[in-house]
Amino acid sequence: MKILVCISHVPDTTSRIAFTDNNTKFDTKGVQFIIGPYDDYALARAIELKESTGATVTVLNVGLAETEPTIRKALAIGADDAIRVNAEPVDSFFVAAQIAAQAKAESYDLILMGRESIDYNSGVVHALVGTMLNIPAVSPVMKLDLDGNTVKMVREIEGGTEQVEAAMPLIAGCQEPIAEWKIPNMRGIMSARTKPLKVVPPVAVESGVKLQRFELPPPKGAVKLIPPDKVEELVHLLKTEAKVL
Amino acid sequence: MEANTKRAIKGGEFLIRETQASEIFIPEDWNEEQRMIAQTCREFLEQEVFPRLDEIDSMKDPGLMPAILDKAGALGLLGTSVPQEYGGFGMDFNTTMLVSEVFGGGHSVAVALSAHTGIGTLPILYYGNEDQKKRYIPKLATGEWKAAYCLTEPDSGSDANSGKSRATLSADGKHYIINGQKMWITNGGFADVFIVFAKIDDDKNLSAFIVEKSFGGITMNEEERKMGIKGSSTRQIFFNDCKVPVENLLSERGNGFKIAVNILNVGRIKLGAAALGGSKRSISIAIDYAKQRKQFGTEIANFGAIKHKIAEMVTRVYASEAACYRAGQNIDDAYAALIANGVAPGEARLKSLEEFAIECAIMKVHGSEVLDFVVDEGVQIFGGMGFSAEGPMDRAYRDARINRIFEGTNEINRMLTIDMLLKRAMKGHLDLMTPAMEVQKELMAIPSFGEEAEGLFVAEKRVLANAKKAGLMIAGAAVQKFMMKIADEQELLMNLADILIEIYIAESCLLRVEKVLTQKGQDAEGPLTEIAMIYLHGAMEKIAACGREAIMAFAEGDELRLMLLGLKRFTRIDPYNLKNARRKVADYAIAKGQYPF
Ligand SMILES: Cc1cc2nc3c(=O)[nH]c(=O)nc-3n(C[C@H](O)[C@H](O)[C@H](O)COP(=O)(O)OP(=O)(O)OC[C@H]3O[C@@H](n4cnc5c(N)ncnc54)[C@H](O)[C@@H]3O)c2cc1C
């Protein structure tokens, strides 16, 4: 069995967010980058499947050379080899097209990725790749088990869960608790630099979306505390000052 | 990026030579693999340790600590110093220090882990014969077996060679029978293997033995109730006719004290590294609180008094870190040189550490005292919440304290630095005489300002060169005065040690900043020059105070006056607005929300 895990290279969740170039570019100065946390779950499940079924795991990232440490971390966690599509991941459609192009060349049984990346959070790459490859795409998947050629999954839905099944090949957008994040061990870290990391050029894709600019949420204003016995005053202020009533 | 220009440097030589920034290793030089290893240690703490600090310290489940060690072992983190042929990963010394640093934030787990991988495992690795290494090291490297180190006894602490534990050969010559009592044994409660120091018959010196718990004749008291690191197992252990096969004598008869001392060299510098990890964690927690806590209508992080604390905490840790890895790299380089000369790996490790024993002791003292400073100011930043047993500073404050006591108390280590320095000078290993005489001559001459050198920090380097002269002047005069009796002048030795320590740390800090600025130029991040200046000014003040105290303790009349004048001249430093510098450093750290480097 062949598993492809698509990982994003995203700022650590505690990073301070700032923009440059007229608010059109994320300021990466001093920012620590990590494997997208949801992708990390997908990778962890893939490694478990590798351990239980002997599957091979390939990781794929669409990004420029600076993402290689992140890719090598995935190799340290246990992936067998890696592909880096040498291009800036401009938008979801572009990324999905790159993944689809790579996946077409190698027929993977399972394509796992996070349900969304935590930088731009569009959450549609799995669906787009599914459409491009004409195979099922399921997300967000909290549990994923194999039964022969069938994949049994549990999806999170509003107020509950849903159990679905599909035959491979298949794409899943993953989230916790599908597996526990894996910490790379010493052996993995030491073997990461000798595992194959193939750099391929991107396929040409016409992107329909153009980024205009980013805007940070307005800074939080001062807070007025109204004692609980002064409900009237609260209503008054909401009407006259906050003008929300 | 310019390459490191390396040459064989001697331990203690920093006092008499000018080191170039390009010669030292700085933490900014960590490669991707080393950073990944550090990250693995961090993730391990976050996943396995931080969520259960209370549970660990409660000691309710005696199986918890060994289980945590097992998990570290499964990740390979107990075998970083162990060569691959014995089931480890054969990392260089500085990388293993980085591992110690990160784990240093792990409270009781840090102590359990370092006792196992350091004083527990290394005696066998460095002194064991092939058979002993094959039998024990692979199991210790994975954590299948846990180790403890039994040197201290109720009546033998700092005076480690005075222990009463005895080993006698059995009638059939096949076993040593060990009897004695050991105290304060870390990991004692669950260890499978004990490195035990005892004297064979009426020997003057200790011998060391590898003792398995399964040999029998081992009993222990309940867990000690301690001020801090409460989750780390600490036991009194009794050996009652414990039968140890003769093959388990480590190294040679009478070699135990040497083993103990040399293993402590590693322990000391690694304790310095671990203290960095603890310090960084406390700084980050304190900054986080200072950004949230409001008084007088504003976050307390906006107050100058709090900024002063944050800047000092950050600066001292930055400086200690610079020195720690500078020394670590010196040890690695010395090791590589020995290996190139055909020395066997185990012996090369020991020799390289012994060469830098002065630096190891310096890092132990400085690291542990910076940590205590940091947690103390951390408590202060938290105010009443700092004193709450439910806040995070409580544990940090209590756990930090042990570091000034074990691995040789800081008093013992201070005395050792000077003792070793003077011994090396007497043996002709380090030429302190020539520069000390030159300082004497300079004292009588009219001050010259020398030629104007070029480059970064010219004035600051001259300040450091002068600080070294101050140290040499006082040490030289003291040795002349007291000769061999100088050992009885402990107060003086303490002063000299402080001068030596401050010189080493201030120089390392300055060189680190210089190297970063040289490598990165405009792209260098953070108020680095300010950090170098803050540390240097603090160090010079301390050197001046210690120097004065030392001189007044033994000089009289004209000599006293001349030396005090000389000290003034050698500790002069141009004014610098430290308040502004501290504000910049604090603002940078506060914006980053954590220890920022
Ligand atoms: C939690 C904990 C864990 C430990 N783990 C271990 C372990 O795993 N294995 C092990 O073998 N030991 C261990 N120790 C023991 C530790 O190394 C000793 O406590 C330490 O060496 C000091 O010895 P002592 O307690 O006997 O103090 P003492 O030697 O009695 O010292 C008391 C004071 O006198 C000072 N002093 C002593 N001699 C001199 C001198 N010549 N000149 C000036 N001042 C002096 C000391 O600096 C100190 O301030 C541990 C201790 C603790 C508390």
Instruction: Tell me: do B203 and B167 sit in the same domain.
Output: yes
Q: What angle do CA B225, B230, B233 make, to 5 degrees?
A: 80
- Name the residue among A30, A181, A189 with its Cβ closest to that of B36: A189
Distance from CA of A15 to the nearest CA of B (A): 9
B430 within a domain of the structure (yes/no): yes
Contact check, Cβ <8 Å, A183/B47: yes
Q: Looking at the domain assignment, is residue B20 inside a domain?
A: no
pLDDT of residue B6: 53
- The distance of A166 to chain B (nearest Cα, Å) reads 34
Q: Interface of chain B against chain A, CB under 8 Å?
A: 32-33, 35-37, 39-40, 43-44, 47, 74-77, 79-80, 89, 525, 591-593
Query: Residue B80 domain-assigned?
Result: yes
Give yes or no: residues B395 and B450 share one domain: no
Using a CB-CB cut-off of 8 Å, the residues of chain B touching A184 are 36, 39-40
Do B564 and B445 sit in the same domain of this protein?
yes
Distance of CA A140 to the CA centre of its chain: 11
Tell me which residue has tokens 């007025």.
Answer: A224
In terms of domains, do B48 and B190 share one?
A: no
Q: For residue A219, name the pLDDT band (cuts at 50, 70, 90).
A: confident
Active-site option among B101, B407, B502, B530: B407
The answer to whether B460 touches B43, Cβ cutoff 8 Å, is no
| Predicted local confidence at residue B451, as pLDDT | 63
CATH number at residue B561: 1.20.140.10
Contact assignment for A30 to B525 by CB distance below 8 Å: yes
What is the structure's pLDDT at B402? Answer: 98
CA–CA gap between residue B147 and residue B160 (Å, rounded): 20
A189 to chain B, any CB pair closer than 8 A? The answer is yes
Of A14, A16, A184, the CB nearest to B40: A184
Report the gap between the CA of A199 and the closest CA in chain B (Å). Answer: 19
B153 and B270 co-located in one domain: no
Query: Any idea what the CATH number is for the domain that residue B172 is in?
Result: 2.40.110.10
User: According to the model, what pLDDT value does residue B449 have?
Assistant: 61
Q: A192 CB near a chain B CB, below 8 Å? A: yes
Digit-by-digit pLDDT tens for chain B (597 residues) are: 334 445 578 999 999 999 999 999 999 999 999 999 999 999 999 999 999 999 999 999 999 999 999 999 999 999 999 999 999 999 999 999 999 999 999 999 999 999 999 999 999 999 999 999 999 999 999 999 999 999 999 999 999 999 999 999 999 999 999 999 999 999 999 999 999 999 999 999 999 999 999 999 999 999 999 999 999 999 999 999 999 999 999 999 999 999 999 999 999 999 999 999 999 999 999 999 999 999 999 999 999 999 999 999 999 999 999 999 999 999 999 999 999 999 998 899 999 999 999 999 999 999 999 999 999 999 999 999 999 999 999 999 999 999 999 999 999 999 999 999 999 999 999 999 999 999 988 888 876 666 667 789 999 999 999 999 999 999 999 999 999 899 999 999 999 999 999 999 999 999 999 999 999 998 899 999 999 999 999 999 999 999 999 999 999 999 999 999 999 999 999 999 999 999 999 999 999 999 999
What's the fold here for domain A2-217?
Rossmann fold (3.40.50)
Of B367, B391, B409, the last residue of a domain is B409
Cα B254 to Cα A236, B167, B243, B449: the distances in Å are 87, 11, 19, 54
- Ligand 1: which of B234, B406, B412, B418 to mutate, judged by most atoms within 8 Å of the beta carbon? B406
Asked whether residue B18 is domain-assigned, the answer is no
| Whether residues B360 and B502 fall in one domain | no
pLDDT at residue B7, as a whole number: 59
- Is residue B74 helix, strand or coil? helix
Which 74-133 residues of chain A touch chain B by CB within 8 A? Answer: 76
Q: Which residue of B has its CA nearest to A14?
A: B593
Return the H-helix or E-strand segment holding B387.
helix B384-387
Domain count, chain B: 4
Dihedral angle at the C-alpha atoms of B341, B342, B347, B350, nearest 10 degrees?
A: 20
* Chain B residues in contact with A76 (beta carbon < 8 A): 36
Q: Are B47 and A72 in contact (CB < 8 Å)?
A: no
pLDDT given at position B2: 39
CB-based contact B40 A186, cutoff 8 Å: yes
Residue of B nearest to A73 (CA): B36
How much is the pLDDT for B8? 74
User: Quick check: A183 and B592 CB within 8 A?
Assistant: no
> Do B492 and B548 fall within a single domain?
yes
Q: How many CB pairs under 8 A join A and B?
A: 48
Residue B19 resides in a domain: no
Q: Which residues contact B490 (CB under 8 A, 6 or more apart)?
A: B411, B415
Decide if B116 contacts B270 (C-beta within 8 A): no
C-alpha B258/C-alpha B205 separation (Å) is 9
Q: Among residues B325, B329, B286, which one has the least CA distance to residue B308? A: B286
| pLDDT given at position B5 | 45
CA distance A40 to A8: 9
The residue in chain B having the minimum alpha-carbon distance to the alpha carbon of residue A74 is B36
Same domain for B573 and B487: yes
Note the pLDDT of residue B4.
45
B-chain residues near A193 (CB < 8 A) = 33
**Average pLDDT in the A70-99 region?**
96
* pLDDT band of A122, cuts 50, 70, 90: confident
Same domain, B399 and B425: no
Q: How crowded is residue B410: how many other Cβ atoms within 10 Å of its Cβ?
A: 20
In a domain, B537, yes or no: yes
Q: pTM of the prediction?
A: 0.93
Residue B377 appears among annotated catalytic residues: no
Which residues' Cβ are closer than 6 Å to ligand 1? B 115, 149-152, 157-158, 184-186, 226, 234, 402, 405-406, 409, 411-412, 490
Tell me the residue range of the domain where B472 lies: 413-592
Same domain assignment for residues B193 and B282: no
B308 C-beta neighbours (distance < 10 Å), count: 17
Summarised one tens digit per residue, pLDDT across range A131-166 is: 999 999 999 999 999 999 999 999 999 999 999 999
Return the sign of the alpha-carbon dihedral for residues B35, B37, B39, B45.
negative
DSSP for A164-231 reads EEEESSEEEEE-TTSSPPPPPPHHHHHHHTTS-EEEEPPPP-----------PPPPP-------TT-H
**A1 vs B2, which has greater pLDDT?**
A1
The verdict on residue B21 lying in a domain is no
Residues 6+ apart with CB under 8 A from B58: B230, B231
With CB atoms and an 8 Å threshold, state whether B33 touches A73. Answer: no
Across-strand partners of A10? A34
Q: Is the peptide bond before B138 cis (omega within 30 degrees of 0)?
A: no
| B140 shares a domain with B110 | yes
Q: At B306, list the tokens.
A: 């709090």
Asked whether residue B236 falls in the same domain as residue B265, the answer is no
Which atom of ligand 1 has the smallest separation from the CA of B158? 29
Last-in-domain residue among B98, B124, B146: B146
pLDDT at residue A222 above 80?
no
CB A27 within 8 A of CB A21: no
**Where along chain A do its domains lie?**
2-217
- For an interface test with A, the pick among B28, B30, B31, B33 (most A C-beta atoms closer than 10 Å) comes out as B33
What was the pLDDT predicted at B73?
98
SS3 call for A3: strand
* DSSP helix/strand/coil, B60: coil
